[in-house]
Structure 1
Amino acid sequence: MKIFIFLMFFCSPLFAQLDYPKDYFSSPLDVPMQLSGNFGELRPNHFHAGFDLKTLQKEGLKVYAVADGYISRIKISTFGNGKCIYITHPNGFTSVYGHLQRANDGIEDYIKKSHYDLKSFEIELFPKPNELIVKKGQVIAFSGNTGGSEGPHLHFEIRDSKTEKIINPMFFGFDKNIKDTKKPVVSSVYVYPLDAKTSVNHSKRPLLLNLSLQKNGAYLSEKVVANGEIGFGITAVDYDDVSFNRNGLFKVQSFYNGKPNFGYQFDTYSFDDMRYINALIDYSKYKKTQQRIQKLFMKNKYGLSIIQADENNGIIPVVPNLASVYRIEVSDFYGNKTTVSIPIQYDLLSTIIEQEPVVSNYFVRANKDSNFAKDNMSVFFPAGTFYDDFNMNFDVKNDTLFLHDDTVPAHTNFTISIEDNKYSETQREKIFIGLVEGQKITYNSTYRKENVFNTKVKTLGKYTLVMDTIAPKITIAKPIEGKWLSAQKTIQLTINDSLSGIKSYNGYLNGNWILFEYDNKTKKLIHNFSDEIVAEGANDLKVVVIDNVGNSTIFETHFFRSQKK
């Protein structure tokens, strides 16, 4: 009976797929579809939520509505997806278009009016269903490089309109636009001893296994000789025939003696799943080497919805008198598959490579609240902050909190509190809790109750109180004082704050608020004269920039402009 239930669990519901419409959506671009990033690709602190579509390495390509619907959300941000449009379709799905340069026609007019109504560049709008109706194939925007984009491209997603779950666009027929005959590439396989008593091939540390290519295209690993519990991890990427980019995997499945024991497939997931990437990968290895090893086991079970695992959560118990075979299958959406077989044998080998020494003064249990304090500093970890138990370093020296290091990932916020008895009340207004990384100090949103500063963060490391009394800088490349700017299309300023960072920026022309768009990558503030706020003749310009602790800088000048053509 147990065997029947096991097979039903793995063979029937495993990676079950819904019947998504294949021909409902058209391409959002009119250039051949090429990916610079695919669905589920591993990114810092998240899985990639859609396609990154190449735009010929330039901005300004027409972006089309992939189906009839209405614009249900518009978000303009200096980070993330930058300028982003969401279209809700009558079939129950929502398409998302990110990193846009600008919207088109009436949509851009709607956005521009909202900027001026709200007196803010960063806005989030939720138009009503009858406000911005679009048709399939309508030009809604132009591709760009806004937000967190590292180069011109279009970020494209499809979501379930009710649940907000993100869905792999391949399921909607976009696989027909991309040719892929290439197998995924498994570049390395690691074996992990999972307790202090276990050794693998004379080692109590994770080991890189030697692989040999077989005539049938599969890989055979060197034999694993172990005693106790072990797990495996892989580094692998996928390629298609047209994009030449290293993409993420679609499906990973491992088998122990022929039975499925751990797997995941990038069909659909929620935004709550995103940060579990730090549990899936060997996070410590990643922080030290930038190598993302995908672990095929869970020491402590975590909530990533795409994982299916056996009762041992992918952990292999190596026991006497049983020779075993572990198999890993890595597949892309098109069914191209790479297989690695690993023979496993029990034996008590002498240990040559001992575990890495751990120097720590505290032990943190992942499933329990923990509170640590010394001198005037303390930290509180709620239960569930971490994925696994670990030995932690905690100390306070020279007004600095030493809180382990960023090789252990936190899933949720924890609270740091620092009591101050040195600074005056006026000075405290300019203080925040900063993360110290070498010469770099990162601002953290800090709240204060009397003389106690608090912040909620997700990164272990060094923290201290930082005072910021330096106002932001505002510069202009070419002075415009008293000049005629009739031939110019824009006014451009550069703004910067080297410590707590910029909180707000506002421009005023002849006393009226005007829109300045901010590009966080270049630190540019840009006002476009096409807004037609400028007066004929003389104009007075004022720009106010405020940092996160309230220091402000005002830039004032005057210029002349004629709008007559």
Structure 2
Amino acid sequence: MKLPILLFFLSAFCYSQSQEYPKNYFRSPLDIPLYASGSFGELRGNHFHSGLDLKTQQREGLKVFAVADGYVSRIKISEGGYGKALYITHPNGFTSVYGHLKKFNGAIADFVRKRQYAEKSYEIEIFPLSDELKITKDQIVAFSGNSGSSGGPHLHFEIRDSKTEQIINPMFFGFDIQMPDTKAPVINDLVAYAIGDSSVVNSSQRTIPVNLSLQSDGSYLANKVFAKGNIGFGVNTYDLSDNNFNWNGIYKAETFLNGSRLFKYEFEKFAFDETRYINNFIDYYRYKTIKQSIQKLFFKRNYPFSLVSGNKQSGQISVLPNQTWSYRVEVSDFHGNKRVINVPIHYSDAAATIPKEEKKTPYFVKSGNDNNYTKDNVSVFIPENAFYDDFYMNFEVKENVLYLHDETVPVHKNLTVTFDVSEIPNLNREKTFISRMDGNKPEYFTTYKKGNLFSIRAKDLGKFLLMTDTVAPKIYRPNFSEGSSLDKADSLSIHMRDELSGIKEYNGYLNGKWILMEYDFKTKSLTHYFSEAVYDEGKNELKVVVSDKMGNSTIFETHFFKTKNQSSVEKTN
């Protein structure tokens, strides 16, 4: 009886595993062939990509379908991020997400418009009740667009666990069948790391490239690596797919030492509060200095990122005398297409001819501790685990400017930067904030003011200074001339910008009534659609008020003429 019982439990286990992610439950959100311009887990600035970016044939306005029955559980409209985004919760425990939309459809659009006018705000976030906006599979819920921080027309699509809100790779739900792929990932670079003060790899204590040669079977063979002490490797790689020229992220990486698995990660799912760990997952210094994205195949110390924290070993290799090692790297896409790198490793006692590059300063940051530094009128508080590693930090204050190391060291938690302004004469305190210079561009930070102390919270190092903004925003270039007829126009638009602290608030009014104006931060434009039917027959007075984050405001006023029965939008709607 033992064997049948064992087989029963094995089959039950396999069944439960295969049913964890239903393969045929969700339909495609688009009715065109699916090609991804961005993959799940792909490396992005300060985060991993949380879904699939689906191509929309370089255009907007494609129908977006509900992938299954459910109800709209969240609607968010923001200037950046996902722009216009829709969340549908399904009865099977998952939530689908649709981002960068052009507009919503039907009852959803009416629901959103009503709330925007009630709140007098373009940006809104709504959490409808389960019986307010019920959805059926195949229903057209929206139209694809380019809203938010999208770099071009596409549909951002996610699937999340409704309870945990973890993001799950949509490929697990059968989308891999709709997106065939027979191409293996591409290897651009392999680099080696000497980990620790006494380690050396190929005569270097710094990160060093390893030459690769392509073999007849499609694998790569690395030049012999001569090392001592603890070393590690990193790989620069991307994936290709059929009929698609985009360079997307890989799904899985594994390493093996003498045939035994050493390290592994695969992009199945992760939580949003983990996503900033990308800055420890990659070689951040190399990314910032030469724009090369190296995925590290080891860690110096374990960190709570679920994709790597399950490894029992660190991925490091301890190279000892009188031994040789066969190290193998395998990178794969979701379809199982694989690329292999074989690396022969030999012990060498040779001294480093390229020493470690480390400048010692009086400020040694122990990343596991709280740290507080003060000089002149500036102080910096660094909470424990704000950094991933210990390091010598540059900390200098000159003429009320803080030079806090540089952007090559990643920050995981907020640092608190405080300026004491009591000794600064003639300071316009109401209009002054703390800024960080991003290159030559000032970056605004919300500044908390308590007496003479001005403070901000920041997740980047660099140059910080006080800046005063007394200049109001600019409102310019309307798409019509004053007094003109807009009978044939479906919308009116105007541009706005602020050179320093940035736009905080904008409001448009027609004949004294608040109107919805959609803001596109990429073009710096505000657009009002006449389909809102807020305008009057004949003459209409337009007023736009824009304020920046320091309270400086500009008012723009003009007028136009409009005949209701000639509105092209109303005819089409």
Aligned to 2:318: 317
Give the distance between the partners of 1:439 and 1:171, measured in 2 at CA: 44
Matched residue type, 1:206: T
Matched residue type, 1:481: E
Quickly say closer, same or farther: Cα 1:182–1:551, change in 2 above 3 A: same
Q: 189-198 vs 495-504, which deviates more?
A: 189-198
Aligned-pair CA distance for 1:476: 2.6
- Do 2:480 and 2:492's aligned partners in 1 also have CA atoms closer than 8 Å? no
Matched residue type, 2:103: R
Aligned to 2:434: 433
Matched residue type, 1:219: Y
Q: For residues 177-201 of structure 1, what are the alpha-carbon distances to aligned partners after superposition, in whole Å with 9 as ceiling and x for unaligned?
A: 1121111112111110011221111
Does residue 192 of structure 1 match 2:197? no
Does residue 374 of structure 1 match 2:357? no
Where 1:454 maps in the other structure, the secondary structure is: strand
Aligned to 1:6: none
Where 1:246 maps in the other structure, the secondary structure is: strand
Give the distance between the partners of 1:450 and 1:425, measured in 2 at CA: 15
Matched residue type, 2:397: V
Aligned to 1:235: 236
Give the distance between the partners of 1:210 and 1:227, measured in 2 at CA: 19
Aligned-pair CA distance for 1:438: 3.9
Aligned to 1:5: none
Where 2:286 maps in the other structure, the secondary structure is: helix
- Do 1:263 and 1:308's aligned partners in 2 also have CA atoms closer than 8 Å? no
Which aligned pairs between 1:33-432 and structure 2 lie closer than 5 A? 33-307=34-308, 310-358=311-359, 360-421=361-422, 427-432=428-433
Give the distance between the partners of 2:350 and 2:423, measured in 1 at CA: 59
Give the distance between the partners of 1:479 and 1:309, measured in 2 at CA: 60
Q: For residues 336-385 of structure 1, what are the alpha-carbon distances to aligned partners after superposition, in whole Å with 9 as ceiling and x for unaligned?
A: 11111111122211322122242533111111001111000010000010
Aligned to 1:448: 449
Identity of aligned residues (%): 53
Aligned to 2:489: 488
- Do 1:17 and 1:267's aligned partners in 2 also have CA atoms closer than 8 Å? no
Give the distance between the partners of 2:225 and 2:321, measured in 1 at CA: 14
Matched residue type, 1:176: I
Aligned-pair CA distance for 1:407: 0.2
Q: For residues 185-226 of structure 1, what are the alpha-carbon distances to aligned partners after superposition, in whole Å with 9 as ceiling and x for unaligned?
A: 121111100112211111111111111223332222111111
Matched residue type, 1:538: K
Q: For residues 420-448 of structure 1, what are the alpha-carbon distances to aligned partners after superposition, in whole Å with 9 as ceiling and x for unaligned?
A: 13557981010110012343111011110
Q: 160-169 vs 480-489, which deviates more?
A: 480-489
Aligned to 2:499: 498
Give the distance between the partners of 1:39 and 1:386, measured in 2 at CA: 26
Give the distance between the partners of 1:515 and 1:309, measured in 2 at CA: 49
Where 1:245 maps in the other structure, the secondary structure is: strand
Q: For residues 416-473 of structure 1, what are the alpha-carbon distances to aligned partners after superposition, in whole Å with 9 as ceiling and x for unaligned?
A: 0001135579810101100123431110111100111100010000000000000000
- Do 2:479 and 2:494's aligned partners in 1 also have CA atoms closer than 8 Å? no
Give the distance between the partners of 2:479 and 2:238, measured in 1 at CA: 47
Give the distance between the partners of 1:114 and 1:452, measured in 2 at CA: 39
Aligned-pair CA distance for 1:254: 0.8
Superposed CA RMSD in Å reads 1.7
Give the distance between the partners of 1:486 and 1:200, measured in 2 at CA: 73
Aligned-pair CA distance for 1:106: 1.5
Quickly say closer, same or farther: Cα 1:105–1:516, change in 2 above 3 A: same
Where 1:199 maps in the other structure, the secondary structure is: strand
Where 2:277 maps in the other structure, the secondary structure is: helix
Where 1:73 maps in the other structure, the secondary structure is: strand
Give the distance between the partners of 1:446 and 1:339, measured in 2 at CA: 50
Aligned residue-pair number: 552
Aligned-pair CA distance for 1:18: 6.5
Give the distance between the partners of 2:387 and 2:65, measured in 1 at CA: 43
Matched residue type, 1:95: S
Where 1:183 maps in the other structure, the secondary structure is: coil
Quickly say closer, same or farther: Cα 1:190–1:77, change in 2 above 3 A: same
Matched residue type, 1:461: G
Aligned-pair CA distance for 1:234: 0.5
Q: What TM-score, normalized by structure 2, do the two folds share?
A: 0.94
Matched residue type, 1:76: I
Give the distance between the partners of 1:253 and 1:336, measured in 2 at CA: 13
Aligned-pair CA distance for 1:44: 0.5
Q: 310-319 vs 206-215, which deviates more?
A: 310-319
Quickly say closer, same or farther: Cα 1:426–1:189, change in 2 above 3 A: closer
Q: 300-309 vs 392-401, which deviates more?
A: 300-309
Give the distance between the partners of 1:338 and 1:460, measured in 2 at CA: 37
Q: What TM-score, normalized by structure 1, do the two folds share?
A: 0.95
